[in-house]
Amino acid sequence: MNLVFRDQKHLWHPLTQHKISPEAIPIVKAKGSILYAEDGSQYIDGISSWYTAMYGHCNEFISGRVAAQMQNLDQVVFSGFTHEPAVKLSEELIKILPGNQQKLFFNDNGSTATEIGIKMALQYHYNQGNRRNVMLAFEEGFHGDTFGAMSVSGLSVYNGAFEEHFIEVIRIPVPLGKNNSEVISQLEMLISENDIAGFIYEPLVQGAAGMKMHNAEGLNEILNICQKNDIICVADEVMTGFGKTGKYFASDYLATKPDIICLSKALTAGLLPMGLTTCSQKIYDAFYDDKISKGLFHGHTYSANPPACAAAIAGIELLVSEEIQQNIRKVIKSHQAFDEKIKDHPKVTNRRQLGVIYAFDINLKMDRYGNLRNQLYKHFMDNGVFLRPLGNTIYILAPFTVSQTELDKIYHVIEDLLDKFL
């Protein structure tokens, strides 16, 4: 019985309408930037498996650390206990986080990281007797699939069936430079009319919206105004964190730092699930009290899982190494050269890049998960490149370790799409 048939008997895949979707492709091995299929096909992982495997698949340095940790301490409850991998991770992560971050709260994934960030912002005010129960977010933001995370997300394709159950959220457009003054005016009006507890945002790049990028100066002004009004700023760096923007974190481009940062994905280099929500001392102090009820009563069974912590520590060691930083610079320059090559193509519009993230839009209207988009996806897969178009947006976010030959193939398959397919 082949793997596809066995898969179809019991499994329900994410972001999939099984009645009309093609069969899932069985992957039997991954190494570096390559995914190996059961039928012998190979695919360059042009999106690092949803931005996780940034140091390449099955990286032996990371997997070796995890294997060693599993022989010593596999899992222990993190309420009432602590352990060296969690402590060591906190020490190493604090070194590279924005300077105001002081405390780490462990969780399981990106959605729970943002969920806790939202809860921190709301309870920060609740603990002080302030009636603030409204969250502020950007239009077209995406922050995950749990209920708080869905509430602050602005992509109805994911949320439509649940919207009547959401917490109260108001939205502003992203600042693009030319509209900064209008966004600031709208923000100031909303602050005067609403009891806003927190502002959650994807700094500089909105991933699920199609790698849409916005203006650092405008975002910095928004953060300034929010913090002056005691609105807790929650940076969702689940996608942008750990070097993808060319700095350790997208927040490093901003003078005003967030009160809270949400992390996952590349945190554990794609090996194991884990999330973190970090915060400033100010946030932590609002929960530090003789009253038990003022504590943050949120917990996950696998919080601070020791092997996951070991993976994260190893990933940070690689991230700060000269080798990976040099690789990041090479990928950035390679994307810039590719951008120069296609910039005048009549089917290419809205080109954008930040760090190793490169995206452009095809000058055609299409549904996010419609037939035309699916044909684009099939073209890439048929040619050995794993890219997932977001509607008419084509983006590349390959591992830092991707070779120039592999990048050139990605570029060639995209050019072939532009010249022959459309």
166-181 exposure pattern, b = at least 16 Cβ within 10 A, e = fewer: eeebbebebbeeeebe
C-alpha span between 330 and 16 (Å, rounded): 35
176-226: per-residue pLDDT in tens? 999 999 999 999 999 999 999 999 999 999 999 999 999 999 999 999 999
Cα distances from 30 to residues 38, 39, 130, 253, in angstroms, run: 11, 14, 51, 33
Which residue is it, tokens 């190979």? 42
Model confidence over 23-62: pLDDT tens digits? 899 999 999 999 999 999 999 999 999 999 999 999 999 9
**CA dist., res. 219 & res. 47, Å (int):** 26
Rounded Cα gap, residues 391 and 393, in angstroms: 6
Model pLDDT, residue 15: 86
What's phi and psi for 90, nearest 5 deg? -60, -40
Quote the pLDDT of residue 41.
97
CB 57 within 8 A of CB 45: yes
Q: Average the pLDDT over 341-358 and give the result.
A: 97
Rounded to two decimals, the pTM is 0.96
Position 157 scores a pLDDT of 67
Residue 421: its pLDDT value, please? Answer: 64
Q: What is the pLDDT of residue 99?
A: 97
Cα distance between residue 174 and residue 179, in whole Å? 9
Number of H helices, E strands in the chain: 14, 16
Domain ranges of the chain: 62-319, 321-397+409-422
pLDDT over 90 (residue 155): no
Same fold, 62-319 and 321-397+409-422: no
CATH fold, domain 321-397+409-422, is: Aspartate Aminotransferase, domain 1 (3.90.1150)
Which pair of tokens denotes residue 179? 């509209």
Task: State residue 369's pLDDT score.
Answer: 75
Better-scored residue on pLDDT, 48 or 2: 48
Question: How buried is residue 404: exposed, middle or buried, by Cβ count under 10 Å (0-12/13-18/19+)?
Answer: exposed
Average pLDDT of the chain? 95
Contact status, residue 385 vs residue 46, Cβ threshold 8 Å: yes
Tens of pLDDT along 220-278? 999 999 999 999 999 999 999 999 999 999 999 999 999 999 999 999 999 999 999 99
Tens digits of per-residue pLDDT, 372-419? 898 999 999 999 999 999 999 999 999 999 999 999 999 999 999 999
Binned at pLDDT 50, 70 and 90, residue 371 comes out as confident
Distance between CA atoms of residues 275 and 149, nearest Å: 14
CATH architecture type of domain 62-319: 3-Layer(aba) Sandwich (3.40)
pLDDT over 80 at 349, yes or no: yes
